[in-house]
Amino acid sequence: MLIQDTIFYRPDWRWHKFLKYLINNLIKYNCLEKIIPSEFSYKDSNYGSRKSKKNVNLFTWGVTHKKRIQFARAVCINSPNYAVLNFLIIPNTSYNVPFFGVDFVSLPNSHLLVLDFQPSLKIQNQYSSELLEKLIKLKTSCHSSLPLAEEMSADVARFFSPGVIWSKLPKEESSDFLIANQLYTSFKEYLNLYLEILFETKEANIDLQKKLLNGQNNYLKYREDNDPARPMLSSLFGKEFTESLIKEVLFTT
């Protein structure tokens, strides 16, 4: 099944414009679609009580690039209560570039929104002052409209940059407007800047490549062990499927 033939490419899924923009831009950079094991590429399930069963769909889409990207994947979820776009670019460790992370989650009563260039090394070792300046400028512009969520704990914050967009919105019409306009604009700006940097950065030396590999492995292991989506995924798809998805697809290269 092609993702273009699913609900995730239709206007009745909240994040369809974001997903289309991601896919179209990665294709422009000659990324090649990666075959995801069939048990994880598409799943249809039911959740809730016997009297109130609801249907939920999941699709996992991924690409690679022969030089620049080890693995980039989008996990898309749609149901009456949930709409999720979780996206991560894991760059090749030959290049000193952070991850690109998106976590847009619509829950029954709120939207949780995270967008960032996520570091695999210490900030000063991976971000030039010029890049930090650009990111913070884009973040400031976004959060002039989008409220900033509560401060992250130190344990979590170390995996985000000073340019992280982090917001929590109530499920109401004004939030729909902010998502469709300000968030979508910021999302495009962040992705365009990231791809520009990823495809222009020169190859790192061998010593730095080793540090990048270690840094990426630390990040991916932390995410595997502490994925905040684990309870939601387990409630929708069951614990066994959730653990396999997390360990075999989401945080692996």
Average pLDDT per block of 10 residues along the chain, 253 residues long? 94 97 96 95 90 93 97 97 97 98 97 98 97 98 96 88 97 97 98 98 98 97 94 95 96 87
pTM of the predicted model over 0.75: yes
Token pair for 50: 């016997």
Closest CA to 63 of 39, 38, 29, 93: 29
Residues in the chain: 253
Two tokens at 219?
């990040």
Give the Cβ contact number of residue 142 at 10 Å: 23
Q: Where are the domains positioned within the chain?
A: 3-250
In terms of Cβ atoms closer than 10 Å to its own Cβ (0-12, 13-18, 19+), residue 87 is buried
Count of beta carbons in the 10 Å neighbourhood of residue 168: 17
3-250: which CATH number, 3.40.50.720, 2.40.50.140, 3.40.1500.20, 3.40.190.10?
3.40.1500.20
Cβ–Cβ < 8 Å for 9, 16: yes
pLDDT of residue 224: 95
Residue whose token pair is 């800047």: 193
Q: Give the pLDDT confidence score for residue 156 in this predicted structure.
A: 87
pLDDT at residue number 49: 80
Cα angle 178, 183, 186; round to 5: 145
pLDDT at residue 153, as a whole number: 85
Q: How far is CA 225 from CA 85, 217, 222, 228, in A?
A: 20, 12, 5, 9
DSSP 203: P
Q: CA end-to-end span of the chain, whole Å?
A: 23
Burial zone of 20 (CB within 10 Å; 0-12 exposed, 13-18 middle, 19+ buried): middle
Task: Count CB neighbours of 28 within 10 A.
Answer: 9
Q: Which residues of 105-121 are buried (b: 16+ CB within 10 A; e: fewer)?
A: bbeeeebbbbbbbbbbb
Q: What pLDDT score does 218 carry?
A: 95
